[in-house]
């Protein structure tokens, strides 16, 4: 991980801006949480309102790696250089564009490590508290007397619901709508409300994310870092041969070493062995096996990402808002899209779009000419366009997408046809193996969410001014078989 001093001076303004935007948004979130509490107070209900304020859902994220303007580059395993990001930012208007609708930015992993101080590591590391620990404040003026003393008892997010149940006198139901409920594993924290020094009642808790693992019991914590280093771009070296049984474990006495600075594993091998076995027991009880199962999709089989059982889709007219994870995977599988449309004079607008400005693809008409764009997370945009205008009236538009290589993220050959005639061809050099976005959609007839292309960014949603009659999307026979195999595997997505 880079130190601040090791970053070239020419890159430091970019790196500072990424963290400034995060800091600004953190303040924005905190301020608006305060507005909610202020409103509760104005309504005269604050005195008897139980509030849990947890600052985050995991440790600071290192998924920005070396600093990024498009976060899902990391999830797709696409390495880039900082100069590529700076070049793109300059083309978009300069540093002030970071934090706007034209970036999906994430700060350098070094900022994440600093943000987790004094703990080590970051989000996606279950072994260290820099990946998991969060400050929490609990307020209930009618029942909890403020004393200003932090509570040091070990607790986990699974303890919040049991705390609420005990605090307000709820007995959790054993059956809901005829379905037996799973047991609640958490431990109520009510006992700490009136006694800051009370002995902790949480005895055991396990942690695991994609092979990074930890286990707590009675003041002791054993862990192993796992096969992935979240702040390193690309796939981990040797991941194909990784065996969790060969991982090296650490051991810490949290009562004396709460920041995990003094590894006692070499001095206490028997306790390490006991804690490793305890981790397997807890994993078995909580359906956490196999170890590393969360790596299946993002590392080994991106083609098995969330998908539907369909290999063919037929749409009538325009549609909006089909979530990407439920939509056809038209940017990473062999497929053909066939559209029956009516083209007006001076045709303009989006025929279809998947994803958003931070990554996606789009087929659109600009001043009568058909264009295809594959936006690889803003770092690279492949544009393919016809030379002549579309004929007016009824037309059949086809887009054939075919992977030129079976390797992860391999090139994609694109052919555009109008009324059976090839009007443009080109190759997308690198594809998104996992997904373009976690929150955008497929639209037909417009680009309703974040616009994929700069060509119509200021005109979004840039609805097609002709008529879309039907749209048929179909995978090749090869992809049909692959998709069915993916469904039968039922892998853990690992997100």
The pLDDT of residue 303 is 73
312 and 280 within one domain:
no
6 in a domain, yes or no?
A: no
Which residues pair with residue 349 across a beta bridge? 365
148 and 66 within one domain:
yes
The pLDDT of residue 492 is 30
467 and 365 within one domain:
yes
Out of 297, 327, 351, pick the residue that ends a domain: 297
Distance CA 372, CA 356 (A): 14
113 and 214 within one domain:
yes
495 in a domain, yes or no?
A: no
The full 3-state SS of the chain, as one line of letters, equals: CCCCCCCCCCCHHHHHHHHHHHHHHHHHHHHHHHHHHHHHHHCCCHHHCCEEEECCCCCCCCCCCCCECECHHHHCCCCCCHHHHHHHHHHHCCHHHCCCCCCECECCHHHHHHHCCCCCCCCCCCCCCCCCCCCEEEECCCCCCCCCCCCCCCCCHHHHHHHHHHHHCCCCCCEECCEECCCCCCCCCHHHCCCCCCCCCCCEEEEEECCEEEEEECCEEEEECCCCCCCCCCCCCCHHHCCHHHCCCEEEECCCCCCCCCCCCCCCHHHHHHHHHHHHHHHHHCCCCCCCHHHHHHHHCHHHCCCCCCCEEEEECCEEEEEHHHCCCCCCCCEEEEEEEEECCCCCEEEEEEEECCEEEEEEEECCEEEEEEEECCCEEEEEECCCCCCCEEEEEEEEEEECCCCCCCCEEEEEEECCEEEEEEEECCCCCCCCCCCCEEEECCCCCCCCCHHHHHHCCCECCCEEEEEEEEECHHHHHHHHHHHHHCCCCCC
The pLDDT of residue 483 is 47
363 and 229 within one domain:
no
326 and 291 within one domain:
no
- Asked if 461 contacts 346 with a C-beta cutoff of 8 angstroms, the reply is no
User: What is the domain-level CATH number for residue 368?
Assistant: 2.60.120.200
Q: Examine residue 412 and say whether the peptide bond preceding it is cis (omega within 30 degrees of 0).
A: no
The pLDDT of residue 478 is 62
86 in a domain, yes or no?
A: yes
The pLDDT of residue 350 is 98
The answer to whether the pTM exceeds 0.85 is yes
Structural domain boundaries enclosing 32: 12-297
The pLDDT of residue 104 is 96
90 and 158 within one domain:
yes
281 and 407 within one domain:
no
403 in a domain, yes or no?
A: yes
User: pLDDT digit of tens for each residue in the chain (495 aa)?
Assistant: 999 999 999 999 999 999 999 999 999 999 999 999 999 999 999 999 999 999 888 999 999 999 999 999 988 889 899 999 999 999 999 999 999 999 999 999 999 999 999 999 999 999 999 999 999 999 999 999 999 899 999 999 999 999 999 999 999 999 999 999 998 989 999 999 999 999 999 999 999 999 999 999 999 999 999 999 999 887 788 888 999 999 999 999 999 999 999 999 999 999 999 999 999 999 999 999 999 988 888 777 777 777 778 999 999 999 999 999 999 999 999 999 999 999 999 999 999 999 999 999 999 999 999 999 999 999 999 999 999 999 999 999 999 999 999 888 999 999 999 999 999 999 999 999 989 999 999 999 999 999 999 999 999 999 999 999 999 999 987 655 554 444 333 223 332
Domain count, the chain: 2
198 and 154 within one domain:
yes
245 and 108 within one domain:
yes
The pLDDT of residue 490 is 29
């Amino acid at each position: 991980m880079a130190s601040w001093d090791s970053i070239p001076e020419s890159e430091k303004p970019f790196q500072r801006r990424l963290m400034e935007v995060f800091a600004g948004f953190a303040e924005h979130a905190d301020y608006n949480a305060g507005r909610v509490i202020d409103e509760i107070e104005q309504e005269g209900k604050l005195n008897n309102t139980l509030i849990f304020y947890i600052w985050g859902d995991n440790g600071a994220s290192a998924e920005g790696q070396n600093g990024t303007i498009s976060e899902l580059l990391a999830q797709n395993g696409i390495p880039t250089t900082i100069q590529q990001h700076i070049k793109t930012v300059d083309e978009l208007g300069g540093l002030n564009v970071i934090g706007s609708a034209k970036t999906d930015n994430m700060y350098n992993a070094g900022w994440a490590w600093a943000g987790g101080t004094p703990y080590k590591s970051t989000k996606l590391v279950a072994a260290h508290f820099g990946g998991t620990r969060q400050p929490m404040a609990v307020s209930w003026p009618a029942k909890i007397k403020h004393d200003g003393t932090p509570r040091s008892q070990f607790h986990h997010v699974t303890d919040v619901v049991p705390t609420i149940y005990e605090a307000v006198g709820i007995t959790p139901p054993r059956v809901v709508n005829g379905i037996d409920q799973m047991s609640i594993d958490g431990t109520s924290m009510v006992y700490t409300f009136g006694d800051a020094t009370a002995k902790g009642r949480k005895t055991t808790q396990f942690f695991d994310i994609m092979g990074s693992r930890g286990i707590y019991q009675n003041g002791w914590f054993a862990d192993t870092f796992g096969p992935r280093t979240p702040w390193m771009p690309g796939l981990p070296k040797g991941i194909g041969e990784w065996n969790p049984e060969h991982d090296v474990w650490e051991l810490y006495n949290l009562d004396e070493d709460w920041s995990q600075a003094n590894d006692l594993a070499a001095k206490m091998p028997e306790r390490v062995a006991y804690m490793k076995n305890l981790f397997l027991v807890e994993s078995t009880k909580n359906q956490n096996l196999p170890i590393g199962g969360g790596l299946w999709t993002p590392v080994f089989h991106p083609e098995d990402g969330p998908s539907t059982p369909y290999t063919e889709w037929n749409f009538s007219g325009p549609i909006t808002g089909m979530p990407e994870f439920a939509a056809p995977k038209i940017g990473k599988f062999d497929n053909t899209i066939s559209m029956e449309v009516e083209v007006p004079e001076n045709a303009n607008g989006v025929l279809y779009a998947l994803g958003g400005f931070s990554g996606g693809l789009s087929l659109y008409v600009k001043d009568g000419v058909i264009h295809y764009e594959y936006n690889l997370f803003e770092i690279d945009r492949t544009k393919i366009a016809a030379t002549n205008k579309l004929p007016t009236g009824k037309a059949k538009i086809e887009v054939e997408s075919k992977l030129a290589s079976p390797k992860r993220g391999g090139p994609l050959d694109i052919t555009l046809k109008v009324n059976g005639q090839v009007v443009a061809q080109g190759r997308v050099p690198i594809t998104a193996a996992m997904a373009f976005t976690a929150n955008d959609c497929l639209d037909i007839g417009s680009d309703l969410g974040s616009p994929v292309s700069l060509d119509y960014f200021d005109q979004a949603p840039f609805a097609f001014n002709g008529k879309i009659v039907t749209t048929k999307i179909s995978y090749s026979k090869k992809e049909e078989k692959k998709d069915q195999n993916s469904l039968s595997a039922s892998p853990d997505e690992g997100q």
